[in-house]
Chain A
Amino acid sequence: MADERKLAYVMAFNEAVKQQMEVDSSVFCAGEDIGAFGGVFGTFGGLQAKFGADRVVDTPISEQAIVGLGVGAAVTGLRPIVDLMFMDFICVALDQIVNQAAKLKYMFGGDAVLPLTITTAGGGGLSAAAQHSQSLEALLCHIPGLKVVMPSNPYDMKGLMTACIQENNPTVMIKHKRLLGMTGHVPEESYSIPLGKGNIVRPGKDVTIVAYARMSNEALIAAEELAKDGIDCEIIDPRTLQPLDTDLIISSVKKTNHAVVVHEAVRFGGLGGEIASQIQELAFDYLDAPVTRIGAPFSPVPFSPALEQHYIPDSKTIVQGIRDVMARV
């Protein structure tokens, strides 16, 4: 059956780009090594061969100019997809992302449209060490003018990437490096998932777990473990972090009366703090325990597998966090 077709996360990304390039001649891609080489993770594989070097452009290693290329081309009528190989490299291009892409429309009194997609690869788990493993999404979510997307599975990847390309605002699509090979059901036809709409990954009645990207999948494993103890977890994957589907989170917490937020990023100052605040502001009277945040310790991502496996939260950390929350009742 065609609708049972399986596809890897990385190819779901690739297919979304390919299908949008087929239907919209204003879409082009630019970035380091994305042409003949196909991108370091193969994310852009085959696209230059199909669409030519004018539409899939190999650039110098110049992150500011790569994003600037996207900003200038977007504001003059194209629909660029610009790739920053690793999320850590956004720091090299932050002026163009934060001061230019995010603000041009506002500074121009609304007189600008920036249909720009910045794609990058985030997250740890590959022993890639402190400069190739970060989760810096909170930094981006703090900037008015940007939209930030972090898919947790192949189906969401294709639908969200399609939405990013069609979106008329600057979006940052963060692929998780550890999910690139994950396979799942992905329809062949083009479809989009609206930005700002979360997903109930697993319905449950006892505790709400808000988790995105790879942590959403870890939360699923944790939920199966906790089910054995009779704890029924509801998992919300916001999918888009900016704008955040606060309504979905709040309605879940009102039902379960408990909330745990999980991310791979450093806990302090992470998005978990924002989500926890929203929950206590909007559902304080429904809470039976404080909202708990699970995230990485306050250190750079360590290199050695012996350290990194304890640094990044996993299903075991989540199980423990939820047991702690439920024990307070």
Chain B
Amino acid sequence: MDLPVHVQLDLHRRMVRIRLFEEAAGRLAESNRLPGFLHLYVGEEAVAAGVCGALNDDDHITSTHRGHGHLVAKGGDFNRMMAELMGKATGYCKGKGGSMHISDTSLGMLGANGIVGAGSPIAVGAAFANRYRGRGQVAVAFFGDGSTNIGAFHEAANMACALHLPIVFACENNEYGEFTPRDKTMAITDIVDRAAGYGMPGVIVDGMDVIAVHEAAVEAVARARSGGGPSLIEAKTYRFYNHHGVQNLGLKYRSDDEVAMWKQRDPIFTLEDRMIENKAATRDQFDAIWAELRAGIEAAIAFADESPYPTPDQITVGVYTSMSGAS
């Protein structure tokens, strides 16, 4: 653990923000206060935090259907996020997008995405634009293990490598594509094996260890930024909850023992334990951080609750950039 303490605390803070937001969203969903589908990021926090902690504010990311964590890690605002999940006019997408399309282009977050694999080609486009403009920015495509089986991923990875673009492919391998285990859907164990087929370096990291993820991301981002081309990071991780919704135990497709085993390796608590052991932080310090951020999430729920819904006249607003538009 050579990372400066302030960097470790920054990564910790990003993870706690994700955890609190997602747990709050889960509670709201349980009491039927959130419309639509909810795909929680709990358990995978180290990946978004570790990678986004290696990015500048103006770097770009594309996300997945499990996208709240990526936006939070990129600096997303709790109020506007919670309002969007509730479908309110004050939300990030004015209630037009919801959980699966949450985005903040001003933070370089080019959208959660309801289509598995669709974010990667868009990240390639962002990477192209960044190099074209000579802006020194990089793009990161977050995606799951399952999406590496879809053609869009293959096309994106190949094109990024063929054009030698400043991009990082960040795979969250949580071992399940929705409800089907990885070993039923592919004949390889490690997603990183695919990297060689495109001619890019790939590395496996412990996706429950934010420091390990961060160090791999720093290296990959530096490679991209300095003209070294794409790379792939495979973070072995786990989603604590179901594919969607808030159930975590008693699921047919995975055992409670397996869930318990992964929860032992909770990315936030293991980091806290290590930092306390290394005398880099104290329990009181962490308690204060949780309390501070928890207050923020309670305020966000109140903000969202009090916010108005969009009015029906907004349905056809925002389809085109100027409404010279559609018939």
Residues facing A in B291-313 (CB within 8 A) are: none
Contacts of B319 in A (CB 8 A): 105-106, 144-145
Q: With A107-B96, A113-B321, A243-B324 given, is the CB distance from A100 to B122 under 8 Å?
A: yes
For chain A, the count of residues having a C-beta within 8 Å of the partner chain is: 51
0/1 interface trace, chain B 89-117, chain A, CB 8 Å (1 if under): 00111111100010111100011011100
Q: Give the top 6 A-B pairs by smallest Cβ distance, nearest first.
A: A72-B125, A68-B121, A110-B318, A109-B93, A109-B94, A65-B155
Q: In the complex, A7 Cα to B158 Cα: how many Å?
A: 38
Chain A 133-155 interface mask (CB, 8 Å, partner B; 1/0): 00000000000110100000000
Nearest chain A CB to B239's CB is how many angstroms away?
23
Could you say which interface size class chain B belongs to?
35 or more
A27 to chain B, nearest CB (A): 11
- Contact residues of B between 142 and 156, Cβ < 8 Å to A: 151-152, 155-156
Which A61-112 residues have C-beta < 8 A from chain B? 62-78, 80, 95-96, 99-100, 104-112
Q: List 16 A-B contacts (CB under 8 A).
A: A60-B159, A62-B158, A64-B151, A65-B155, A75-B125, A76-B125, A78-B129, A78-B133, A80-B125, A96-B121, A99-B115, A106-B318, A110-B94, A112-B105, A144-B319, A244-B327
Q: Report whether A71 and B159 are in contact in the complex, using a CB–CB cutoff of 8 Å.
A: no
- A113 CA / B106 CA spacing, docked (Å): 12
A-side contacts of B168, CB under 8 Å: none
Whether B105 lies near A68 (C-beta < 8 A) is no
Alpha-carbon distance A98/B118, docked complex (angstroms)? 11
Cβ–Cβ contact A72 & B118, under 8 A: no
Judge if A44 is at the interface, Cβ distance under 8 Å: no
Contact check: which of B139, B159, B321 meets A59 at CB < 8 Å? Answer: B159
Q: Are A72 and B322 in contact (CB under 8 A)?
A: no
**Known contacts A67-B121, A75-B110, A109 near B159 by CB under 8 Å:** no
Most buried by A among B93, B106, B155: B155
A-B contact count (CB 8 A): 166
Q: Is A280 an interface residue when CB atoms closer than 8 A count as contact?
A: no
Q: How far is the CB of A66 from chain B (nearest CB, A)?
A: 8
Bound: A242/B113 CA distance, A: 26
Which residues of chain A are within 8 angstroms of B110 by Cβ–Cβ distance?
Answer: 72, 75-76
Contacting pair B327 A246 (CB below 8 A): yes
Q: Does B127 contact A (CB under 8 A)?
A: yes
Residue ID in chain A nearest B100 by CB atoms = A107
**In-complex Cβ contact of B97 among A28, A71, A107 (8 A):** A107
- B158 (CB) vs chain A CBs: closest residue: A60
CA A133 – CA B325 in complex, angstroms?
29
**Secondary structure call for the A interface:** mixed
Interface presence of A57 (CB below 8 A): yes
Q: Which residues of A contact B122 (CB under 8 A)?
A: 68, 71-72, 75, 96, 100
Collect the chain B residues with CB atoms within 8 Å of residue A22's CB.
Answer: none
Would you call B318 and A54 a contact (CB within 8 A)?
A: no
Q: Please tell me if the beta carbons of A243 and B321 are within 8 angstroms of each other in the complex.
A: no
| A65-B159, A145-B320 given; A108·B125 CB < 8 A | no
CB distance from B319 to the nearest CB of A (A): 5
Across-interface contacts of B104 in A (CB, < 8 A)? 111
The closest CB in chain A to the CB of B139 belongs to A72
Does B65 count as interface, using CB distance less than 8 angstroms?
Answer: no
Q: Which residues does chain A contribute within 8 Å of B79, judged by CB atoms?
A: none
Cβ A78 vs Cβ B132 within 8 A: yes
Minimal beta-carbon separation of A51 from chain B (angstroms): 12
B326 lies within 8 A of chain A by Cβ: yes
| A72 engages B129 (CB within 8 Å) | yes
Which chain B residue lies CB-closest to A115?
A: B321
CA distance A80 to B121 in the complex (A): 14
**Could you tell me if B105 and A75 are in contact, using CB atoms closer than 8 angstroms?**
yes
B163 within 8 A of A: yes
Contact, CB under 8 Å: A169 / B320: yes
In the bound assembly, the distance between CA atoms of A140 and B199 in angstroms comes to 36
Is residue A196 within 8 Å, beta carbon to beta carbon, of the partner chain?
A: yes
Q: Is A95 within 8 A of B125, CB to CB?
A: no
Cα distance A108–B100 in the bound complex, in angstroms: 11
| With A72-B110, A242-B327 as contacts: A100 and B321 at CB distance below 8 Å | no
Question: Which residues on B sit within 8 Å (CB–CB) of A110?
Answer: 94, 96, 317-318
A315 an interface residue at 8 Å Cβ cutoff? no
In addition to A80-B125, A111-B104, 17 A-B residue pairs with Cβ atoms within 8 Å of each other are A28-B132, A57-B163, A60-B159, A62-B159, A66-B159, A68-B124, A73-B126, A77-B129, A108-B101, A108-B111, A109-B95, A110-B96, A111-B92, A112-B105, A144-B326, A145-B320, A194-B324
